[in-house]
Amino acid sequence: MAWLSISFEVAASEVDAVTDALLEAGAMSVDVTDAEAGTTAEQPVFDEAGERAARAWARSRVRALAAADGDAAALVRAACARAGLEPPPHRVEIVADQDWVRASRDQFAPIRVSQRLWIVPSWHEAPDAGAINLSLDPGLAFGTGGHPTTRLALLWLERALRRGDSVLDYGCGSGILAIAAMKLGAGRADAVDIDEQALLAARRNAIHNQVQVHFHSAAGTIRRPARIVLANILARPLIVLAPLLARLTERGGRLALSGLLAAQAAEVSAAYEPWFDFDAPEDAEGWALLSATRTAR
């Protein structure tokens, strides 16, 4: 059986409404990528009110799969009407039937983060059995190692963590940073996310990696500050969260902020300067990581 692949671009803020509407209008499946870079969407983030916010990129490419005998134009019109949008120009391709699970898995290979740290999908053999291998599959929650922000945070964590340290991963997504912390020798890891789907995925990932992580849906349930605090979200919520993350970081402890563009580093660091002394920013592909030490003031 053949299928119709229907693709078009929308603003990132419109993605959730459009994808829901496509499925309601009869699409068999929908995936979303960065319209410029082609990166698969993976990042739920927070706005000032603590709700889900728009994705990091400005425009997204939406691709829907529909039956070959369907009407692609009608599907797009119906979905956009449901979402309250004007139908954008769209492209239609005929796609031959195939093993979709195998095809999707073939897109994801093990990722080498450092000399001793790998991210390995569950269906792959670990390239280096002697390394620290994080078993994580692409899914609903952000943080499978493919994005520069995640890799920056993992590399920083590997350098900064001391055996037995307490760790807090704020906005944990897949739980990758908290899981990595435990595999790198942390004494305790707490992880916070407001997205229940992310927490469910993160708990499964922790079990699969055979580590214990304490997951929370709200930071208010965390009673003790941590020596290592990581937040890989976006610039605006990082600024809003500055007083909270300062309170959750031990005096003399270390903080890493990721998920921001290099051009946003100065504004974000300024929000934390009442409590932290910053190191020089690190960057990768236009994204930045800020690291700092909690001061006594």
Quick one: average pLDDT of 247-256? 97
Quick one: DSSP state of residue 130? T
The domain segmentation of the chain, as residue ranges, is 3-105, 111-294
- Each residue's pLDDT tens digit, 186-234: 999 999 998 888 888 889 889 989 999 999 987 777 889 999 999 999 8
**Residue 41 pLDDT > 60:** no
CA separation (Å) from 65 to 19, 42, 101, 126, 157? 11, 19, 14, 32, 39
Beta bridge partners of 53: 45
3-state secondary structure 247-267: HCEEEEEEEEEEEEEHHHHHH
pTM: 0.66
| CATH number for region 111-294 | 3.40.50.150
- Calpha distance 20→215 (Å, rounded): 28
CB–CB of 21/82 below 8 Å? yes
End-to-end CA distance of the chain: 67
Burial of residue 196 (number of CB atoms within 10 Å: 0-12, 13-18, 19+): exposed
Q: CATH number for the 3-105 domain, one of 3.40.50, 2.60.40, 3.30.70, 3.40.1440?
A: 3.30.70
Strand partners, 195: none
Residue 165: φ, ψ to 5°: -60, 150
pLDDT tier for residue 99 given thresholds of 50, 70 and 90? low
Return the number of other C-beta atoms located less than 10 Å from residue 236's C-beta: 17
Q: Check pLDDT > 80 for residue 278.
A: yes
Higher pLDDT, 217 or 272: 272
Token pair listed for 88: 């954008």
Alpha carbon separation from 110 to 30, 135, 267 (Å, rounded): 24, 9, 35
Question: What's the pLDDT score for residue 158?
Answer: 95
Predicted pLDDT at 146: 66
